Amino acid sequence: MGDNMVIGVVEIEIYTPWVHSLKEKRMIVKSICTKAKNKFNISIAEIAQQDVHQRIVLGFACVAGNTSHAYSTCDHVLNFIEGNTEGEIIKVDRQLL
């Protein structure tokens, strides 16, 4: 890896108490992931608890030229996800590599 490359990695857990089917959950996950990918050019996917209706666990990663840009991008993505779901964000784990 070059000296100027920073990778931001975030795991986010969202509580969605109104979701009562995996089909409904998949629609929400697909919508969030598609919108975030298109807006921020990140890699994002559901990474855990795929069989649990009321929990969505997403992971996303971004590549930046410096630490502050990586933090900023992660913050923008988190704010975007929070603003585009009715669910409650209950956990965020963030790492810079």
Sorted by where each starts, the structural domains of the chain and their CATH numbers stand as 6-96 (3.30.70.1120)
CB 19 within 8 A of CB 88: no
Q: Residue 2: phi, psi to the nearest 5?
A: -75, 165
d(CA 35, CA 80): 9
User: How many CB atoms are closer than 10 A to CB 86?
Assistant: 10
Helix 22-40 and helix 67-83, axial crossing angle in degrees, nearest 10: 140
Half-sphere exposure of 71 (CA within 13 A, CB side): 3
Query: Is the model's pTM score more than 0.95?
Result: no
Q: Each residue's pLDDT tens digit in the chain (97 positions)?
A: 556 899 999 999 999 999 999 999 999 999 999 999 999 999 999 999 999 999 999 999 999 999 999 999 999 999 999 999 999 999 999 999 9
Specify the residue for token string 């979701």.
19
